Amino acid sequence: MPAIEPFCHFIGINSYKLTKEEMLLLEADLLAHICEELKEVFRTQHKDYFRLMKLNKEKEDAMLEAKLARLIIQDILSTKEYTLIGIASYTDSHEDVVQEILDGRNINPSATLLRKIIALH
C-alpha cells in the first residue's frame, strides 16, 4: 500500500506503526471520501441536466454512483494524456474491461479497478 504512505505522512500518521488491517481501513475510508468528492464535482458539472430532468438528490446520487467509474474514465480521456489502452495498461486490466465501463455495460467494476482508475485520475 505504498500509495497511501505519502498521505499518512502528510496528515502526521506514522504508517509503519499501523497494522495491515488499520492500513486497509484507512485506505478504504480515504477512497470513500474521494468518491464522495468526485461525485460532488460531477454533480456540479451535470447540474443543468439534473435540473432539466427534475431529479431529486437521491436519484442524482444513484445516477452518479452508477456512472462514477465511467465519468472518471471520460474525464481522464478528455485530457488526452491517456488513451483507452493507456488506462487499461495502468490499471492492469484488459482494454475491453475499460471499454465496457466507458460504454455503460459495466456499472459495477471491481473495487481494485475503481481504486486504480481513481489513482490515475
Cα 30 to Cα 7: distance, rounded to the nearest angstrom: 10
- Structure confidence by residue, pLDDT tens digits, 36-45: 999 999 999 9
The answer to whether residue 91 sits within a structural domain is yes
The answer to whether residue 12 sits within a structural domain is no
Range of the domain at 51: 18-120
The answer to whether residue 49 sits within a structural domain is yes
Instruction: Report the alpha-carbon angle 67-7-24, nearest 5.
Output: 65
The answer to whether residue 42 sits within a structural domain is yes
For residue 103, what pLDDT band results from cuts at 50, 70 and 90?
A: very high
The answer to whether residue 66 sits within a structural domain is yes
Is 101:55 a contact under the CB 8 Å cutoff?
A: no
The answer to whether residue 96 sits within a structural domain is yes
Looking at residue 21, its pLDDT comes to: 93
Question: Three-state SS for 29?
Answer: helix
Q: Quick check: 22 pLDDT over 70?
A: yes
Q: Quick check: 1 pLDDT over 50?
A: no
79 against 30, higher pLDDT: 79
CA distances from 84 to 13, 29, 33, 46, 68 (A): 36, 28, 26, 23, 17
Is 117:73 a contact under the CB 8 Å cutoff?
A: yes
